[in-house]
């Protein structure tokens, strides 16, 4: 491939120069088959010096790498001594990065030589220079010669582009590979695209990418191949080469370079022998000290790897490898991710370092063991609220109007205290009317007795008794217009202070009162915990208004009917509050705990989760 490129390059140069004699044809052939840059530069300089008129001597200065110094690689004629002036013009051309000419003012005299140096620039990077010592000539002829030299420099620039990468080109190549990896969302597509891009950019016959799984590397992508069989001999040979490079944690090249270090290349030799490629280079994919996988590049027959290209492979692998590894990990199944995370954790626990992780794991294990051994009080927790043991409703005994209101909800009243009063004026008028009627009938009765009319006297006596009964009824109704507290209590419900003069109907509940000394606690126990609750169990109650005070409880009754509240089923459990404080009021809310028995702490804290998991599994189990 390199030989074909050289021939094409020289053919184009010959067309530009127009040289076609037999001697130059021989030089063209020598140049086309140049084995290295030194031979190529020597042949090129000889062609230039013989093609241009009046050339006394020439030199080509190149450098092997970016860190190396510039040094002559070809001189013409051979074995000629160097010229200080020629060296000076070369130094100036290298410093100024442009054509340098010395002696142009004396060019009219043919015996005074002219020195010309032309830099070799590849993508703004200085690669070397070519310089000629010429016989003096007119300025126009000198300009034409410099122009022809510039055309010839294009051959050396092409040589530089073919033989090495500039720093800018290396950076662009690596960035293009990273962009190719990031362009695809899935790992397989990204890895195949990167392998194909590498094969296309560097003219490789095949590029393979593999990643570590367990203790071995497995091929995951091949260039120009969307799918491949994982059990073929080629794949096994590639995996063997990858493992060989990963074990040595170094780039392996086969055939090895003469100046390279000693390496084990048995797997690479088998790969080359069985599948007939020209050269193999395997670069490990690493992240820090960990090996992620390997990259295998195979050149066609007759090609070999140069140092700068291998360095570029290593830079690309160093950056692209972690990117592909991230995509590979993201494409795993959720279960596989969990298993891999657990395996990584176990390796860290069993291996060296990670002292903090080991200490925290030991502490967690001791904590779990402690909770699995120690017993604790298992208590059923439920929302609770206070109610009075007896809750009395104060109702209107008759139709009437509110004329007085002395109590409202929250007030504490004593037995016989007036809560409210209804208007009794109509009843008092009715009573006065009945009293007058009774007095009249008493007078008539006395007159009948005086006249000796006993029958009439008895009738009037019966009528008088009827009037007295009506008066007693009115008195009772008047007494009922005053709503009194039946016992020492707190007003739970009712407020007539904003309804003075309002009409009330007979039977309307105007107040609700509860006693001050006896309460019951109503707890809403979740259906998952109701089987653990029984009558007679004790517990504690903490009210929202008194979180620092605990009230003793005794379960008194369990209602066997569930109540739906906030989307969950609850059972109503009644308990008696013992040693109630005077601060308690009906309607207070809090949290109650019923003590069941002693159980393991770990069961107490996990039984609800276990119950939920069991029910979920049972619901899906066929």
pLDDT in tens, 477-492: 888 888 888 877 888 7
How far apart, in Å, do the first and last CA atoms of the chain sit?
67
**Bigger pLDDT: 542 vs 580:** 542
User: Which two structure tokens, joined as six digits, stand for 160?
Assistant: 């530089």
| Nearest alpha carbon to residue 177 among 320, 325, 327, 326 | 320
How far is it, in rounded angstroms, from Cα 576 to Cα 252? Answer: 85
Task: Check pLDDT > 90 for residue 241.
Answer: yes
Structure confidence at residue 7 as a pLDDT band (50, 70, 90): very low
**Bigger pLDDT: 81 vs 594:** 594
pLDDT at residue number 11 = 44
Task: Give the pLDDT confidence of 168-187 residue by residue, as tens digits.
Answer: 666 677 788 888 888 888 99
How far is it, in rounded angstroms, from Cα 164 to Cα 226? Answer: 31
Q: pTM higher than 0.75, yes or no?
A: no
Domain positions in the chain are 2-164, 168-331, 424-480, 518-620
How far is it, in rounded angstroms, from Cα 521 to Cα 575? Answer: 5
Task: Check pLDDT > 80 for residue 76.
Answer: yes
Structure confidence at residue 29 as a pLDDT band (50, 70, 90): low
pLDDT at residue number 433 = 85
Task: Give the pLDDT confidence of 326-372 residue by residue, as tens digits.
Answer: 999 888 888 888 888 888 888 888 888 888 989 999 999 999 999 88
User: Which two structure tokens, joined as six digits, stand for 422?
Assistant: 């209804």
Task: Check pLDDT > 60 for residue 37.
Answer: yes
Task: Give the pLDDT confidence of 428-472 residue by residue, as tens digits.
Answer: 888 888 888 888 888 888 888 888 888 888 888 888 888 888 888
Enter the DSSP assignment of 53.
T
Residues 190-208 have a mean pLDDT of: 91
How far is it, in rounded angstroms, from Cα 328 to Cα 322? Answer: 10
Q: Coil, strand or helix: which one is 539? A: strand
How far is it, in rounded angstroms, from Cα 33 to Cα 27? Answer: 10
Tell me the pLDDT of the chain averaged across its residues. Answer: 83
Task: Give the pLDDT confidence of 380-427 residue by residue, as tens digits.
Answer: 999 998 877 777 788 887 888 888 888 887 778 888 888 888 888 888
pLDDT at residue number 23 = 46
Task: Give the pLDDT confidence of 565-575 residue by residue, as tens digits.
Answer: 877 888 999 99
% of residues, the chain, pLDDT over 90: 20
Enter the DSSP assignment of 223.
T
How far is it, in rounded angstroms, from Cα 508 to Cα 496? Answer: 12
pLDDT at residue number 365 = 92
How far is it, in rounded angstroms, from Cα 514 to Cα 386? Answer: 11
Query: Could you tell me which CATH class the domain 168-331 is placed in?
Result: alpha beta
Question: What does the chain come to in residues?
Answer: 622
> What value, to the nearest 5°, has the Cα angle with vertex 216 and ends 215 and 221?
140
Q: At what angle do helices 266-275 and 233-248 cross, to 10 degrees?
A: 160
Beta strands in 184-325 (DSSP E): 206-213, 216-222, 252-254, 279-287, 290-299
pLDDT at residue number 3 = 38
Q: What is the 3-state secondary structure (H, E, C) of 119-159?
A: EEEECCEEEEEEEEEECCCCHHHHHHHHHHHHHHHHHHHHH
pLDDT at residue number 19 = 44
Query: What CATH superfamily classification does 518-620 receive?
Result: Efflux pump adaptor protein, beta barrel domain (2.40.30.170)
Structure confidence at residue 15 as a pLDDT band (50, 70, 90): very low
CA 417 distance to own-chain centroid: 69
Residue 214 CA: distances (Å) to CA of 14, 233, 294, 316, 486:
58, 21, 14, 24, 85
Q: What is the 3-state secondary structure (H, E, C) of 72-118?
A: EEEEECCCCCCCHHHHHHHHHHHHHCCCEEECHHHCCCCCCCEEEEE
Task: Give the pLDDT confidence of 130-163 residue by residue, as tens digits.
Answer: 999 888 888 888 888 888 888 888 877 777 766 5
Query: Could you tell me which CATH class the domain 2-164 is placed in?
Result: alpha beta
**Bigger pLDDT: 22 vs 265:** 265
Query: HSE (CB half, 13 Å, CA atoms) of 204?
Result: 27
Enter the DSSP assignment of 475.
H
Residue 324 CA: distances (Å) to CA of 178, 211, 360, 583:
9, 9, 32, 70
> By the 8 A CB rule, do 589 and 543 touch?
yes
How far is it, in rounded angstroms, from Cα 446 to Cα 431? Answer: 23
Residue 7 CA: distances (Å) to CA of 152, 156, 163, 170, 302:
15, 13, 15, 26, 16
Structure confidence at residue 290 as a pLDDT band (50, 70, 90): confident
Residue 397 CA: distances (Å) to CA of 478, 481, 483, 555:
10, 7, 9, 38
Residue 344 CA: distances (Å) to CA of 326, 348, 357, 368:
16, 6, 12, 22
| Nearest alpha carbon to residue 389 among 225, 556, 228, 273 | 556
pLDDT at residue number 31 = 56
pLDDT at residue number 617 = 92
Establish whether domains 168-331 and 518-620 are of one fold.
no
């Amino acid at each position: 491939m390199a030989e074909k490129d050289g021939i094409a390059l020289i053919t184009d140069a010959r067309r530009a120069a127009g040289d076609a004699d037999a001697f130059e044809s021989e030089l063209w052939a020598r140049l086309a088959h140049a084995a290295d840059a030194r031979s190529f530069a020597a042949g090129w300089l000889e062609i230039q010096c013989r093609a241009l008129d009046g050339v006394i001597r020439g030199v080509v200065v190149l450098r092997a790498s970016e860190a190396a110094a510039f040094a002559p690689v070809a001189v013409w004629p051979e074995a000629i001594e160097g010229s200080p002036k020629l060296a000076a013009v070369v130094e100036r051309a290298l410093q100024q990065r442009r054509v340098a000419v010395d002696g142009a003012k004396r060019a009219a005299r043919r015996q005074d030589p002219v020195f010309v140096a032309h830099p070799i620039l590849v993508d703004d990077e200085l690669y070397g220079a070519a310089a000629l010592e010429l016989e003096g000539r007119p300025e126009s002829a000198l300009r034409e010669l410099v122009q022809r030299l510039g055309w010839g420099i294009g051959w050396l620039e092409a040589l530089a582009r073919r033989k090495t990468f500039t720093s800018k080109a290396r950076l662009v190549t690596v960035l293009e590979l990273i962009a190719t990896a990031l362009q695809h969302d899935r790992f397989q597509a990204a890895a195949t695209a990167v392998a194909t891009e590498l094969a296309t950019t560097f003219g490789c016959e095949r590029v393979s990418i593999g990643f570590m799984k367990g203790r071995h590397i497995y091929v995951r992508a091949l260039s120009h191949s969307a799918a491949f069989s994982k059990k073929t001999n080629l794949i096994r040979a590639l995996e063997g080469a990858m493992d060989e490079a990963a074990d040595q944690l170094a780039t392996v090249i086969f055939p090895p370079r003469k100046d390279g270090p000693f390496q084990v290349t048995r797997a690479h030799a088998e790969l080359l022998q069985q599948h007939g490629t020209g050269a193999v280079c395997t670069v490990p994919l690493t992240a820090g000290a960990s090996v992620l996988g390997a990259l295998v590049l195979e050149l066609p027959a007759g090609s070999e790897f140069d140092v700068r290209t291998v360095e570029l492979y290593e830079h690309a692998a160093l950056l692209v490898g972690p990117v592909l590894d991230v995509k590979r990990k993201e494409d795993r199944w959720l279960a596989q991710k969990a298993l891999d995370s657990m395996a990584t954790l176990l390796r860290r626990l069993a291996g060296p370092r990670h002292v903090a992780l080991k200490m925290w794991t030991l502490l967690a294990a001791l904590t779990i063991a402690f909770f699995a051994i120690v017993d604790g009080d298992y208590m059923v927790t439920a929302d609770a609220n206070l109610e009075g043991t007896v809750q009395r409703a104060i109702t209107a005994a008759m139709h009437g109007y509110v004329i007085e209101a002395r109590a409202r909800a929250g007030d504490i009243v004593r037995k016989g205290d007036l809560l409210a009063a209804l208007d009794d004026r109509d009843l008092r008028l009715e009573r006065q009317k009945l009293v007058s009627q009774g007095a009249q009938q008493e007078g008539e009765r006395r007159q009948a007795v005086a006249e000796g009319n006993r029958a009439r006297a008895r009738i009037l006596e019966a009528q008088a008794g009827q009037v007295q009964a009506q008066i007693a009824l009115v008195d009772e109704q008047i007494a009922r217009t005053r709503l009194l507290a039946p016992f020492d209590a707190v007003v739970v419900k009712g407020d007539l202070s904003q309804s003075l003069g309002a009409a009330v109907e007979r039977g309307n509940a105007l107040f609700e009162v509860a006693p001050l000394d006896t309460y019951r606690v109503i707890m809403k126990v979740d259906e998952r915990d109701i089987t653990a609750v029984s009558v007679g169990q004790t517990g504690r109650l903490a009210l929202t208004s008194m979180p620092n005070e605990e009230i003793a409880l005794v379960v008194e009754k369990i209602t066997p009917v569930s109540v739906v509240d906030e989307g969950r089923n609850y059972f109503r459990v009644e308990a008696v509050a013992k040693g109630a404080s005077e601060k308690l009021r009906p309607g207070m809310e809090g949290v109650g705990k019923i003590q069941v028995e002693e159980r393991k702490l770990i069961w107490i804290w996990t039984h609800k989760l276990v119950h939920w998991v069991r029910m979920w599994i049972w619901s899906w189990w066929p």
